[in-house]
Amino acid sequence: MELVFSRQKIIGVAARWRAQYSNGLYPEKLEIAQRLDALDMAIATPADVAAIIGNDSWSHFRCDECGTGGLDRAVRLGDEWSDRVDYCASCLRAAAALACVVLP
């Protein structure tokens, strides 16, 4: 379990973009990769990334429980990509309250 922030997503966005589109089937994606490479990751904002890509899913989180998007941080459970989930604070509070009711 870890607390993850949009800054982490921003720092790794160019590498993740290249991994997603490195098969050569989408040559138009190369220009986006180059624009992401040109960002100064020390000061780039989620809005900077969204302006290049066209949406904020590459720089924000979405709660895997309630579906709320645009989150600047989330609690991530699980290690592997296929087994991990991100939760917003509201859903975590609801889970903790449920656990307190159900568990002794």
- The one-digit pLDDT tens for each residue of the chain (104 residues) are 999 999 999 999 999 999 999 887 888 898 999 999 999 999 999 999 999 999 989 999 999 999 999 999 999 999 877 789 999 999 999 999 988 886 56
DSSP 1-60: -EEEEHHHHHHTHHHHHHHHHTTSS-THHHHHHHHHHHS-TTT--HHHHHHHHSSSTTTS
Rounded to 5°, angle at Cα 4 from 52 and 72: 50
Cβ atoms < 10 Å from Cβ of 43: 8
